Amino acid sequence: MITQDYQAELEAERDYVAALYDRLDAERARAKDRYNAALRGDIDKQDGSTLVNRDADVRALGKEVSRLDVADNGLCFGQLESIEGERSYIGRLGLFDSENDYEPLLLDWRAPAARAFYVATAASPENMRRRRQFHTRGRTVLDFTDEVLGRPDAGERGDAALLAAVNAPRTEGMSDIVATIQAEQDEIIRLDHPGVLIIEGGPGTGKTVVALHRVAYLLYTQRERMERHGVLVIGPSPAFLNHVGRVLPSLGETNVVFMTTGDLVPGVRTTAEDAPDAARAKGSLKMLDVLAAAVADRQRTPEEPLPIKLADVTVQIDAGIAGWAIQEARDAGRPHNDARAVFVDVLTWALTERAIARIGKGWLTRDDKQAWEHLRAELIDELEDHDGFKAALNDLWPELTPESLLGALYESPQRLAAAGADESLWRQDGRAWTVSDVPLLDELVDLLGGIKPDPSVEKERQEEAAYAAGVLDLMVAREDLMDDEDHLIAADLIGAEELADRFIEQDNRELAERAAADRDWTYRHVVVDEAQELSEMDWRVLMRRCPARSFTIVGDLAQRRSEAGARSWGAMMAPYVKSRWAYRPLTVNYRTPAEIMAVAAAVLTEFAPDVQPPESVRSCGVQPWSKKVAEGELLEAIKEFVDAEAAREGTSVVIGPPGVPGTVPAALTKGLEFDAVLVVQPDKILADGPRGASELYVALTRATQRLGVLHIGELPACLKGLVG
């Protein structure tokens, strides 16, 4: 029942939040005005404005505009009242009263002063008397719930707000949990651990959003340190990244790159998967020896001597001198393409020695050093333009790209055997890349090194870069030149500006864009979701991307489906951080109702009897059901479910084995959640090898409200508890 006191409090809170929005709008307007002025170059600087200064202004003010633009919905979501009666409002960002010693009007949820909002309980009230949580729509406060702290009968979880959030219909993307973070989650979000943190939790425990909020917290508390290098977030699928991609921007963080493991090498993007045997082989660190052997196999001696016909003499590249050149190049310790220069130098020296000895026979000795070296220089020039010599070099020590080497390896049983590779790696189209190939391509970048550019092209590039640099210097100084037109022809200025703008644009890309396009970019922090699926080779790539070894790793070993994935966190981390990693479990299931979790737990017992399922905090009152249909009735039954759910608010999905129309594989729903889920032919999902039980477990735990199962044959024994 709404009382007069409650209504008066509600009106007061509405007025306060409305005033916060007024202040936010004013700050936005000021920031946008300054941003536009910076774009026009109107900001007055006593020391003289340069393009570099103005670019810095544009960047800084652009970030401020973006920061202020994230808070239209749910700007303020709660209030704390201390025992002394002081009130603090908590929201997505901080707002201050500039006319009153910058008194905080709204505390950023990441600020230390806001922590009590998440961790205060009846047993430990953190000097707080009351926690108030707002229910908002847009800019309007609809109502609020109060939790009185420090009293024996007070709840410890703030269940009213929490259960309202988890019972709400799902949307297309993941929403943040910043208004309903629980103490267990907040402890992990704010954990002061600089290295690798592993968060493990079953379905519905909120491990993904906890990891993302931890990133937002780190970016807030370590802004300068984190911002220059950004954060990489790795997810299991593009659909998952779409789902979570709005969480960090909604919290004001944009220096974040979202990728799957299939995107980690620029220029390659794949979601295709290998068969289990090939995935297992490619994911093992044993592939390092295979790749090294595959590179060495392309450094070869000729089976028969190769004649090189010069103007005055014919020399031969035989196995002896080629073998010597190969050994010298390998001993140089450089990547393959870089070491090719050593191979070429040694081979060139050996051939010219032989040629000089024959040409100068009877009249030239080594004592005549000047004549000897003069003749050598002529022979070197001749070899550099010699098509036969170039062809021999490309045959004996070819320049290779990761794609050309790996593709040729997969297509050749002979090359696979020579490299000691598993025969399951053979395929007809060597370049039909899978996600398991990406870490191998990345490894080959280091093993092969760069390809030497064509000298004429490189010279032209250097000249253009030098010209552009000169243009930039000229443009910086042009304000001083405007009174003296003889210094700068108008046509030259237009052309120079166009060229310089191209170089400036390259430098002015957003951090996320620059990082995603640069294989050698290193991140300050990396988040890995569904981490149990990553192979040893995947981890090698990610550790290379983050030399500081600052990771938030999220997973559930019970949901592992990949044959190359983790069976133990310790074993996977040992090669990189040994035992220097922290582990935090999440045990409470906020998403999956108890009725559905009971069904999923029976499946979990079948394939992972030692794993304790997470405890659901709520019931939905709807029992999961099963229905047996004839094979010819299956598609119609699926359509009935889809039509019925389309009439409801929220989201739904049909999950089934490959080949059933209208269904999606369980693997593509990992990390996602839906109001209603229909699982089709669970017996066929279970039959998909060792990973089948894990996939069925994933499928059953995607639902937040309603779960149904369609089957043609008998229900698997682990699902016998379903209502028919």
451-483 per-position pLDDT tens digit:
765 555 555 556 655 655 555 555 445 444 444
Is residue 718 a contact partner of residue 620, using CB atoms and an 8 Å limit? no
Residue 296 CB neighbour total at 10 angstroms: 15
The pLDDT value given to residue 437? 98
* Cβ density class 233-264: b for 16+ within 10 Å, e for less: bbbbbbbbbebbbbbbebbbbbbbbbbbbbbb
Residue 481 forms part of a structural domain = no
Q: Could you give the 3-state DSSP secondary structure of residue 665?
A: coil
Q: Where are the beta strands (DSSP E) in 506-566?
A: 525-528, 551-555
DSSP 8-state secondary structure symbol assigned to residue 330:
H
The pLDDT value given to residue 504? 44
Considering the domain architecture, whether residues 551 and 634 belong to the same structural domain is answered as no
Considering the domain architecture, whether residues 696 and 617 belong to the same structural domain is answered as yes
Q: CATH number for the domain including 209? A: 3.40.50.300
Enumerate the β-bridge partners of residue 528: 234, 553
Question: Cα–Cα–Cα angle for 442, 443, 446, nearest 5°?
Answer: 100
Residue 473 forms part of a structural domain = no
Cα 279 vs. chain centroid, distance in angstroms?
21
Q: Could you give the 3-state DSSP secondary structure of residue 391?
A: helix
Cα 182 vs. chain centroid, distance in angstroms?
26
Residue 252 forms part of a structural domain = yes
Domain limits at 556?
A: 196-265+519-589
Give the separation between CA 498 and CA 493, rounded to whole angstroms. Answer: 9
Residue 205 assigned to a binding site: yes
Residue 202 assigned to a binding site: yes
Of the chain, the end-to-end C-alpha distance in Å amounts to 40
Q: Could you give the 3-state DSSP secondary structure of residue 399?
A: coil
Considering the domain architecture, whether residues 171 and 135 belong to the same structural domain is answered as yes
Residue 692 assigned to a binding site: no
How many domains is the chain partitioned into structurally? 4
Is residue 348 a contact partner of residue 376, using CB atoms and an 8 Å limit? no
The pLDDT value given to residue 36? 81
Strands 256-260 and 231-235, bridge-based pairing? parallel
Residue type, 295: V
**Encoded tokens for 161:** 């707000």
Nearest Cα neighbor of 344 from 380, 311, 376 is 380
* Cβ density class 26-55: b for 16+ within 10 Å, e for less: ebbeebbebbebbeeeeeeeeeebbeebbe
Give the separation between CA 707 and CA 86, rounded to whole angstroms. Answer: 46
The pLDDT value given to residue 597? 93
Residue 543 forms part of a structural domain = yes
Considering the domain architecture, whether residues 40 and 137 belong to the same structural domain is answered as yes
Alpha helices in 222-317 (DSSP H): 223-227, 238-244, 247-250, 276-283, 287-297
Secondary structure of 79-139 as H, E, C letters: EEEECCCCEEEEECCCEEECCCCCEEEEEECCCHHHCHHHHCCCCCCCCEEEEEEEEEECC
Is residue 535 a contact partner of residue 565, using CB atoms and an 8 Å limit? yes
Residue 86 forms part of a structural domain = yes
Residue 648 forms part of a structural domain = yes
Considering the domain architecture, whether residues 690 and 547 belong to the same structural domain is answered as no
Q: Could you give the 3-state DSSP secondary structure of residue 677?
A: strand
Considering the domain architecture, whether residues 131 and 160 belong to the same structural domain is answered as yes
Reported as type and span, the H/E element at residue 581 is strand 581-586
Residue type, 571: A
Considering the domain architecture, whether residues 178 and 244 belong to the same structural domain is answered as no
Give the separation between CA 72 and CA 324, rounded to whole angstroms. Answer: 70
Instruction: Report yes or no on whether pTM surpasses 0.85.
Output: no
Q: Could you give the 3-state DSSP secondary structure of residue 634?
A: helix
Q: Edge to edge, what strands does the sheet with 231-235 contain?
A: 256-260, 231-235, 525-528, 551-555, 196-201, 581-586
Domain boundary among 438, 463, 492: 438
The pLDDT value given to residue 640? 95
Residue 203 assigned to a binding site: yes
Considering the domain architecture, whether residues 146 and 202 belong to the same structural domain is answered as no
Considering the domain architecture, whether residues 323 and 229 belong to the same structural domain is answered as no
The pLDDT value given to residue 467? 58
Nearest Cα neighbor of 388 from 486, 312, 309, 472 is 309
Percent of the chain scored above 70 by pLDDT? Answer: 83
Considering the domain architecture, whether residues 624 and 652 belong to the same structural domain is answered as yes
Domain boundary among 562, 589, 616: 589
Is residue 665 a contact partner of residue 635, using CB atoms and an 8 Å limit? no
Residue 508 forms part of a structural domain = no
Residue 201 assigned to a binding site: yes
- Could you report the per-residue pLDDT of 612-663, keeping only the tens digit for each? 888 888 888 999 999 999 999 999 999 999 999 999 988 999 999 988 898 9
The pLDDT averaged over each successive group of 10 residues in the chain (724 residues) is: 80 93 90 80 52 66 72 82 91 85 87 80 78 85 82 42 52 51 79 91 87 83 79 90 74 80 94 93 97 98 95 94 97 96 95 90 81 90 94 96 97 97 95 97 95 58 58 50 41 44 53 88 94 96 94 93 92 92 90 91 87 86 94 94 93 92 89 92 86 90 94 90 78
Considering the domain architecture, whether residues 133 and 251 belong to the same structural domain is answered as no
Considering the domain architecture, whether residues 220 and 255 belong to the same structural domain is answered as yes
Supply the angle between the helices 319-331 and 336-359 in degrees, to the nearest 10: 140
- Could you report the per-residue pLDDT of 141-175, keeping only the tens digit for each? 888 888 787 643 434 344 444 455 555 555 555 44
Domain boundary among 564, 589, 614: 589
Q: Could you give the 3-state DSSP secondary structure of residue 365?
A: coil
